[in-house]
Structure 1
Amino acid sequence: MMLKSKVAVQVISSGMLPEDTLMLGEAQMKQLRIPQGQHITLRFGSFSRNVKAIPIAKFEGIRVSQSLAKKMGIHQNATLGVRYKEDTSSVVLGPLIGVLVSRDYPNMPEKPFGSISMFCRELAQACAEQGAYVYFFTPNQLGDMASVSGWVFAGGWKKTSMPMPDVVNNRITSRKMESRPSVQHFLKEVKLQHTSVVFNEKFLDKAEVFDALKKDETVARYLPESHLLRNYTMLNAMCSRYSSVFLKPIRGSLGKGIIRITRAESNKGYLAMFATASGSRKQMFNTLEKLFSTISTKMKTIRYQIQQGLQLIEIQKRPVDFRALVQKNAKGKWAITSIVARTAGDQHFVSNLARGGTLSTAAEAIGKSNLQNGINKHEASVRLRQAALHIAKGVDAQIPAHFGELGIDLAMDTNGRVWLLEVNSKPSKNDNTPLNDNKIRPSVLALIQYSRFLSGF
């Protein structure tokens, strides 16, 4: 039997309370069925300590000594979830969430995590309000598997030694860093030794996602025809089937390195458009062979996915696509947090914001677009939401890794059919919506609720 509630943890000076004593409100001890005056185990993440629980009348909360709080990594009074596990006689506080980020800048106390510092602070603030505790750490801070040097927000950012968390959210944004042996070892051991749950365990690559989703009947209809580009025969087959095709680097991000190939109108040759940081560069080729020989030099270092070109909806000749943020909720089920439309910038055929695109709501963009067949905004929005949920469930079912949030890029063609462009297991935290009036964003709240679900709080 586990009763759940939240409790305020008061840290009081060590001279007034021995380290091995826990003071608890009398009503709470009764409610949680904690035996009085007996030795029990206090747990917080991987931290555990035998303590004696003493009831206090007319008091709500838990009191711990400063030295005990320091060992737990709790800096000041915090509100945490609490439960009593009868089978092990332990009072468990939490959830303790560890967010693994790519890097920190200790000499920038205001922005120790670069561009995601605002997100980190928002998550820390939301945890304080929601009764959870979060710290942030990087691959360089992984030591022995007993504790980790992490950042907590307590009136400002502080670095401190923390127990291993109940839940690890992997926010590493570099593939190279994620594949480091030390990181892989940590992710494996934290699950084995501390039964921590890790979500968003790994990067996805386009070929892996498309190959896995082809096997799923509900999702296969959203997939444009795509293959790993191996040779000229494949390029020729795809170019004769479709009037335009896209070559996408398997490990690309931010639309870098995408090439669009279109058959020239007079059937005389092929036009290749290369996405570059400053706009798109065009090049005409008389024959597909010549085009292929240009690309084949790139293919020595880059693996491409070749994909059927789509007749996407446009606003004033600028292609539009959609980014859906899909997250698991308090019940552990996929739900849609937001869908935004991204319209390509003037000189670009890639709609990424990093390339001068603009954001709007999905309904707004659909309303202004050249969508045909009399499909209304509402119906089109419903199709996008349905597709995003089907795809998230498909990724979960077909790819052997644990995900708690996915950024799903979708497109809609002029007939109103929805297509999957790509799935991102590290959805960006620095560009989705501006912080307004200190309100916690739903995307941040969802992370905490799912962490609570995973850890049983």
Structure 2
Amino acid sequence: MTDTAQGFLGIMTGRRQGHPPIAEPEFCSQLSAAAPLFDLKVLVFHPEDVAADGESITGYAWKEGRWQQTVAPAPDILYNRCLYSSRQEKKAAAAALAALSRAVPWSRGLPDKWRVYEILRRSPAAPLLPETRLYTGPAALGSMLAEREYGVFLKPRAGSHGKSTLHARLLSAREGGGMSIRGRSGANEPFRRHFSTVDEGLRWIDRFTGTRRCIIQPYLHLTGSQGRPFDVRVLMQKNGRGAWTLTGMAVRLGGHGSFTSNLHGGGTAAAALPFLLAEYGPAGAELLDELAAAAAVLPPLLEKSCGRLGELGLDFGLDPGGRIYLLEANSKPGRSVFRLTGDSQAARLAAENPLRYARHLLQHSPAGRRKPANMLRYRQENEINGS
């Protein structure tokens, strides 16, 4: 059986347990189901399933409401959704990208958190940035802790989902002295530690960081009136004209006693405007507009240094006084937050805009202009039961 379409979008992603064994199966199925509206075909695949010569890939196509394993030629557009948790995964992805070098990248990636900070601190977005330093060892961390009544926040330069992060605080004499630490392990499990001396705590943190390169920021009070930490996720995406648009906003809420609001760490979500109005009164609507304005400024600034991007997940913190901080920029953002808040329009756009932008790239790339209609061919190899 042969299927045809004008363009072929390949989504490279990680593995998970289940059938099919692909990360983000819900997003991938939504995107694949909508692809015919844009005259596109979609194949989801793992880096190691790319042929060494880049001429073919084995992956999963969404057909008739279920996933089918399929062999296909190299894609026209390559959408890299891989998140690397090991050096081996990063190496496999690099090899796949090299083999598929003739495909048009859907987006470039962002550098690590420190390099993003270095780019933005010299830009008009600098007022949004919390103070950030490199972690260089116990001595520098001890100095910063001594300057900060509420402690410091330490996180990996290349981390995600709140893993391997911690909040360290010096305890006053009234509290018994020493150091208090709470954090999340590499498996995203919460933990707490107390050390009777500062030196013990600093040594433990140095062992905890290991070979990971980390950054340090002041601990910011980004907690709502109910005592739960929160941030605002803004999803910026390019549309079918290649222009940046704001797809949606949502608040991510951490649990009581948590210091992060990541959904992967057990957080929940809330609609942005009602939450901000409840927290800040009438000023909540103004803050929503300020967040939208800040989000619109950032993508062009980052593209100027990092190359062409297709979407950005921007996480903003708000302190009790309404000051806005940029906490993180992510070039491979999740989008489940809109499903959790019931924002069906943002959820639909979040899945469809990558297709609109892929179509735009196909129409404006030399390869796409040379490509005759009905060139794409899929060869069905076998089917996977279920969806």
Q: Bin the TM-score by the shorter chain.
A: 0.7 to 0.9
What is the deviation of 1:375?
6.3
Decide whether the 8 Å contact of 2:152 with 2:219 is kept in 1.
yes
Please tell me the residue identity of whatever aligns with 1:97.
L
Give the Cα separation in 1 of the matches to 2:68 and 2:227. 50
What is the deviation of 1:452?
0.9
Please tell me the residue identity of whatever aligns with 2:25.
S
Partner of 1:163: 73
Q: Which structure features the higher share of strand residues?
A: 1
Partner of 1:228: 134
Give the Cα separation in 1 of the matches to 2:202 and 2:194. 12
Residue aligned with 1:129, SS: helix
Please tell me the residue identity of whatever aligns with 2:314.
I
Partner of 1:423: 329
Give the Cα separation in 1 of the matches to 2:342 and 2:38. 19
Give the Cα separation in 2 of the matches to 1:130 and 1:120. 15
What is the deviation of 1:393?
2.3
Pair 1:98-2:10 in alignment: yes
For 1:362, which of 261, 272, 275 is the aligned residue?
A: 272
Partner of 2:383: none
What is the deviation of 1:119?
1.8
For 2:82, which of 172, 194, 215 is the aligned residue?
A: 172
Decide whether the 8 Å contact of 1:321 with 1:342 is kept in 2.
yes
Pair 1:262-2:169 in alignment: yes
Decide whether the 8 Å contact of 2:269 with 2:340 is kept in 1.
no
Partner of 2:32: 124
Give the Cα separation in 2 of the matches to 1:104 and 1:402. 29
Residue aligned with 2:235, SS: strand
Partner of 1:149: 58
Instruction: Indicate how the Cα distance of structure 1 residues 341 and 429 shifts in structure 2: closer, same or farther if over 3 A, else same.
Output: closer
For 1:275, which of 181, 184, 187 is the aligned residue?
A: 184
Partner of 1:137: 45
Decide whether the 8 Å contact of 1:270 with 1:286 is kept in 2.
yes
Task: Render the CA deviation track for 1:316-345: whole Å, top value 9, x for unaligned.
Answer: 111211222211111212222121111210
Q: Which structure features the higher share of helix residues?
A: 2
Q: Which moved more, 1:204-213 or 1:275-284?
A: 275-284
Instruction: Indicate how the Cα distance of structure 1 residues 341 and 438 shifts in structure 2: closer, same or farther if over 3 A, else same.
Output: closer
Decide whether the 8 Å contact of 2:59 with 2:71 is kept in 1.
yes
Map 1:47-446 to 2 at 5 A.
Answer: 70=2, 74=3, 80=5, 94-103=6-15, 111-114=19-22, 116-143=24-51, 144-155=53-64, 156-175=66-85, 176=87, 178-180=89-91, 183-191=93-101, 194=102, 196-202=103-109, 204-215=111-122, 217-243=123-149, 244-264=151-171, 268-276=177-185, 277-287=188-198, 289-369=199-279, 371=280, 376-399=283-306, 401-428=307-334, 432-433=338-339, 441-446=348-353
Instruction: Indicate how the Cα distance of structure 1 residues 271 and 365 shifts in structure 2: closer, same or farther if over 3 A, else same.
Output: same
Backbone CA RMSD of aligned residues: 2.8
Residue aligned with 1:218, SS: coil
Decide whether the 8 Å contact of 2:183 with 2:192 is kept in 1.
yes
Residue aligned with 1:305, SS: strand
Give the Cα separation in 2 of the matches to 1:447 and 1:412. 29
Partner of 2:379: none
Give the Cα separation in 2 of the matches to 1:240 and 1:188. 47
Higher relative contact order (CA 8 A, sep 6+): 2
Report the TM-score when normalising by structure 2.
Answer: 0.82
Residue aligned with 1:248, SS: strand
Instruction: Indicate how the Cα distance of structure 1 residues 354 and 161 shifts in structure 2: closer, same or farther if over 3 A, else same.
Output: closer
What is the deviation of 1:280?
4.1
Residue aligned with 1:314, SS: coil
**Gapped runs of 5+ residues in structure 1?**
1-65, 81-93
Give the Cα separation in 2 of the matches to 1:219 and 1:435. 28
Report the TM-score when normalising by structure 1.
Answer: 0.70
Residue aligned with 1:230, SS: coil
What is the deviation of 1:248?
0.9
Task: Render the CA deviation track for 1:250-297: whole Å, top value 9, x for unaligned.
Answer: 23222122211234355844432233545441424443x332122122
Instruction: Indicate how the Cα distance of structure 1 residues 139 and 260 shifts in structure 2: closer, same or farther if over 3 A, else same.
Output: same
Partner of 1:85: none
Decide whether the 8 Å contact of 2:155 with 2:215 is kept in 1.
yes
Decide whether the 8 Å contact of 2:11 with 2:43 is kept in 1.
yes
Instruction: Indicate how the Cα distance of structure 1 residues 429 and 328 shifts in structure 2: closer, same or farther if over 3 A, else same.
Output: same
